[in-house]
Each structure stands twice: as structure tokens, then as C-alpha cells.
Amino acid sequence: MTTWLITGCSTGLGRAFAEAALARGHNVVATARDVSTVRDLADARPQTALALPLDVTKDDDVTAAFKAAEERFGGVDVLINNAGYGYRAAVEEGEDDAVQQLFDTHVFGMVRTIKAVLPGMRARRSGTIVNLSSIGARVSPEGSGYYSAVKAAVESLTLSLRKELAPLGITAMVVEPGAFRTDFAGRSLRQAEHAIPDYAETAGKRRKEHDTADGAQPGDPAKAAAALIEVVESGETPYLLVLGNDASDSIRATLKALSEDLDAWEHISRSTDLDDKKSRS
């Protein structure tokens, strides 16, 4: 039995991860900004579940949550950084405060929890850190530039972290889901308040009032949770776990397009080194 601390468990994938881990017999620290949304998990399994309030943008919340987890279960073996929300805006439309909040939640909030969990993991020379990204980090749709940027930051940071932790017996991985049947495109989606008409045919088509994805996503959160549990329990976690047929198709198409660009411009890419004579002088 291991102890999992999961952020953003009120709904969606976070809640599915918590339910699946509990069903597999793990201890789960289920967290949410509003703890009342996760109390039912602890009430149903009082021996193995702990419900805690946690806003990842607040240092005191993070410190208190990890202290409570250690006091109850002796430490955290698996950290899942799932807390977050969507934000849509053309790059020019993005409000400074909203963008800063987005980065504070997705990137710096993740860093806060990682720094909180690592001392214990290093002492035990074991542990798994799972950071939730999005297929948006690869495909960067119109209107999702800022959201794609925070998820790209999550992925790059996680890859460096994975390399740093490998000699210590700890692993870090990224989960890149496609569209799952959650409220991500509904209640959890925010957007710029003021739309610029010139972007109506690009970013404008993806504003909430024009979006038809909510409730029609192909992914099953329960299956995503089962897949993640299987991978973490395997002891052979990959750097990148892609979830969903749409995500798999999209990432392959993106890689193909990137490879074609590299091929088309390789003669320019390889023309910028010092020539042999100059490099020897």
C-alpha cells in the first residue's frame, strides 16, 4: 500500500484518479480548494482516505497539506499534480492578471508541491511525481496560447526533474490527455473578458459561447484513471503518457509535421557552423 496525494480532486480527472487509487487499496490524500467537495471520499473510506483543503497558489496551504499527510500516513509516495483550469484568449486578448494566475496555478503551484514532497522522497529514495499536461502543449490551438504555454512549461520542467531524480530512485512523468468527459470545457474554462473582432475567425471560434465540445468529449475519466494507476504501479513509468485516441492521433500528426519542417529546412539549419578552417584557427 502506498500513499497518493492528488491535487484538484473535486471533479474530473482528479476525482477519478482518487477514486481509482482508493479502489486499488492505496491511501489517498484527496485535496481541493473547497474541501467540502472531497469529504465524501474520506467519509466512504475513513481508514485510507484523507480530505484536505489545498490551494496550490498558497504556500501555507501546501505546507499544511503535506504535514497532515505525513502525520496521518507517514509520507507521500505518489504525488499527482492535477489542479488547474482552462483559459482561452488570443495572445493579444490575454489579461495580465489572468495570465499570471494561470502560470501561478499550473507551473508555480506544481513547483510548490514538488518542493514539499521531495525531501521525504529523497530520504526514502523512492517516489513518483505525476504532472498533468495536455495535448494542447503539442498542438497549441488558436485561442489556447497561454494554456498551451503553461503546459509546455510543465513538460519541460518535468523532463529536467526526471533526469535529476533518476539517480535517487525517484521518477517524474507527464500525463498528456486529450479531451475527456469532464467539465474542463464548461465550468472550469475561463476566457478573456474582451474579445477583439479581428480574431473572430481564429481564437474567437473557440470562445465558450461558441464551443460545442462540453459534454461531447470522447475520453472516459474512469479509464484514464485505471490507465494511470497501471502505469504508476508498473514501476516503469515513461516520461510521457498520452491518454486518448484523439491525443495519440494529434501528437503523431504534430511529430510528422515537425519532421517535415526539419527536412525541408535542414540545408539552412546545417549551414550555420563555423567552417573547418575557421574552427581550427
- Selecting among 87, 144, 146, 147, the annotated active-site residue is 147
C-alpha cell at 73: 500516513
Q: Are 243 and 227 in contact (CB under 8 A)?
A: yes
- Selecting among 87, 144, 148, 151, the annotated active-site residue is 151
- 151 a catalytic residue: yes
For residues 172 and 165, give the distance between their C-alpha atoms in angstroms, rounded to a whole number.
8
- 277 a catalytic residue: no
- 87 a catalytic residue: no
Residue 174 pairs in a beta bridge with 131, 240
Burial 109-131 (b: 16+ CB within 10 A, else e): bbbbbbebbbebbeeeeebbbbb
Maximum Cα–Cα distance across the chain: 74
- Selecting among 10, 87, 133, 199, the annotated active-site residue is 133
C-alpha cell at 164: 535529476
For residues 68 and 116, give the distance between their C-alpha atoms in angstroms, rounded to a whole number.
12
One DSSP character per residue, 52-114 reads EE--TT-HHHHHHHHHHHHHHHSS-SEEEE----EEEB-TTT--HHHHHHHHIIIIIHHHHHH
∠ CA 54-234-118, nearest 5°, is 40
Active-site positions read: 133, 147, 151
